[in-house]
Structures are given as structure tokens and as C-alpha cells.
Amino acid sequence: MKNLLVAQRVGVGVVLLCLAFAPSSARGEVVLSNLGGEFDDCQTGTAGFERAEQFTTAADGPYVLNSVTFSLLDADESDTFTTTLNADGGSAPGAVLATIGSAEFGGSMTYTDFTLIPASEIILASNTTYWLVSAVLSPSCVLKLSVDLPTGEFTFDTSLYSGNSGATWSNDELASIFAIDASPQEVPSLGGVAAMALALLLAGAGLLTFRRRAA
């Protein structure tokens, strides 16, 4: 009976330890978007053409960037559309921080929403300005633009375009039609820390009892 109690004590400790370290299921949400905005124009792209959308995160971060969705023409398979996350360079994009993803075109030549999902975790700091920089290479009118600017928990700042790979930039009153999905970065809660401490205590006490009896 005593051995059973020791085993139960160790088992409870292990379960609590697993719960303490179990990944959370924080749900992402759209924090900035103008999807569904008026379709006012569209963008083709030659070699070196880029568009940049500047935004600022909210105060209650940091955040995990889950995805970015653009309203695009499903252009020819040889055409390309790739988006990076860039630091703020003041009035223009700064250094590339991460590649968010590329659209995989199928050639249907219809407009649809392409969701780009980062291959690895991207963290956005609170109250920080970033840029989405998209390189567009297509003779087709790939990227939808709108006079309706993105709104949401994050703040949209400005839209730029460049024809020389970002050497110089020009302002555009139209914004790309896009949406950012992000979720608060999970940090250990007080409950999780308490569960971990209790788990270690129970498991340690159980193993100590077992060793004493074995001796």
C-alpha cells in the first residue's frame, strides 16, 4: 500500500510537471486589415519592384506573427511575390528581419486571398514599427490596392513603392490590400510556475521515500 502511495505521488508530480510545460493554445486574431476594401487599382512588377507597408504594434505585446494575407491575382506560375518583415529605417524600410513567405501561383488568373505563413516563429515587440516589404515580379496586375487603409489593433502608418530594389522610395496614397494575423506571445503564468513547483516537490518527495526504502 505504501509503495502504491509513493507511485501515486510521483505520478501526480509528473502530470503536474507536464501541465506546467504544456504548450498554450493562444488563438491568433486579425490585428490589422483592409481585406474587403474597395479595389481601386492593382500593381504589376518588373525586376527590382517592391512595395512596403509600414505598421506599428500595440502596447500589450510581444506578439507572434502567425500569417500575412494579401489579395492577389493567381498569376502565372513563373511570376513571383515574396514578402519580408523589415525593421524601421525611419522614413523607409530598414534591414530585413525575416522572410514571411511567398505566394505559390497556379495560373488561374483570378483574384483570391493568399496567406503567407512564416516557416519559423517571428516575434513582434510592443509599440514597435515594422515594414512589410513585398517584391513583385509579374507582367500581370498582381497586387490589389485600395484607398481604404488598414485598421485594427495595430496601427497602419504609410505605403511606399520602389522600382530599384529599395534604393529609393516614393509615397503612395493607396495601400496594398492585406491582413496581419498575430497572437500575444505566451509567457509562463503564475499558475504554471506554481504547478511546476508543486510537481517538482511531489516528485522529489516520492523519489526520496522510494530511495530510503530501497536502502
Yes or no: say if 128 and 62 are a contact pair by the CB < 8 Å rule.
no
- In the chain, how many domains are there? 2
The pTM (predicted TM-score) of the whole model is: 0.76
Domain enclosing residue 95, as ranges: 29-184
Which helix (H) or strand (E) segment is 48 a member of?
none
Q: CA–CA separation, 215 vs 199, rounded Å?
A: 24
* Same domain as 139, residue 68: yes
* Same domain as 207, residue 149: no
* Same domain as 50, residue 107: yes
Give the model confidence (pLDDT) of 163-184 as tens digits.
Answer: 999 999 999 999 999 999 999 9
* Same domain as 193, residue 180: no
Q: What is the overall mean pLDDT for the chain?
A: 83
Residue with cell 489579395: 71
Q: Which three cell numbers stand for residue 76?
A: 502565372
Task: Give the model's pLDDT for residue 28.
Answer: 76
* Same domain as 73, residue 19: no
Helices (H) and strands (E) in the chain, counts: 2, 13
Distances in Å between the Cα of 157 and the Cα atoms of 38, 61, 128, 172 are 19, 18, 12, 12
* Same domain as 208, residue 106: no
* Same domain as 33, residue 58: yes
* Same domain as 54, residue 115: yes
Q: Which three cell numbers stand for residue 152?
A: 485594427
